[in-house]
Every structure is written in structure tokens, then in C-alpha cells.
Amino acid sequence: MKMLNFACGARIAKGWENIDFSPIDKNVKKVNLLSQLPYKENYFDVAYSSHFLEHLTPENARKILAEIKRILKPNGILRIVVPDLENLCVNYLQSLNKLKPLIGGGG
């Protein structure tokens, strides 16, 4: 099974093809993710990325995802992890509500 970990940063997965624009380890291949990826069509069974897409413009995210689709086999698996905005907002509001009595905030 061929597996790609793109924009891996420090999350280097053993047994995977780990790629990043700025590799921090010899087990990571330097690849410009904003260019055509150096793999043939239908090459990977799985592609994974964690906490990367939220840093991109919508246009660049679409471009990268189109490239991932190109190199994934038909019925391949794509797993993307991004922050849970709803959870972050709930936690922020809960913290803010706890502080309101201390800071005299009404809104």
C-alpha cells in the first residue's frame, strides 16, 4: 500500500512517503506543494495531512486538493485534519464568561 503524508512538518510517519516544503528530517522529501506533485496519476492508496489546509488561501487549497486527487488511486482514501472551529469558539466563549465577573464585562 502506498501512503502519502503531505505537509508533514514534524509528524513523520514510518512507512509513509513524507513530504514537506521545509523538511526537518532526512526521512522527509522536499516538495513544493503549490506545484505539480512529482508523482504519476493514481499512484497512492492513501493521502493524509494534519493542520495544513487552514493555513492556505481557498485557491491554493483547491489547487493542492486537485493534485492529491490526481495522484490518488480511484477509491483512494484522503484524510485531512483541521482545527474544529466550533469547539475553539465554544471554549473561547466559556473562558470569556468565566472572566466577565472579574473584569466587569457586560458584553
List, in order of start, the domains of the chain with CATH numbers.
Answer: 3-103 (3.40.50.150)
pLDDT in tens, 44-60: 999 999 999 989 999 99
State how far the Cα of 10 lies from the Cα of 55, in Å rounded to an integer: 16
Bridge partners of 78?
A: 47
pLDDT in tens, 19-52: 999 999 999 999 999 999 999 999 999 999 999 9
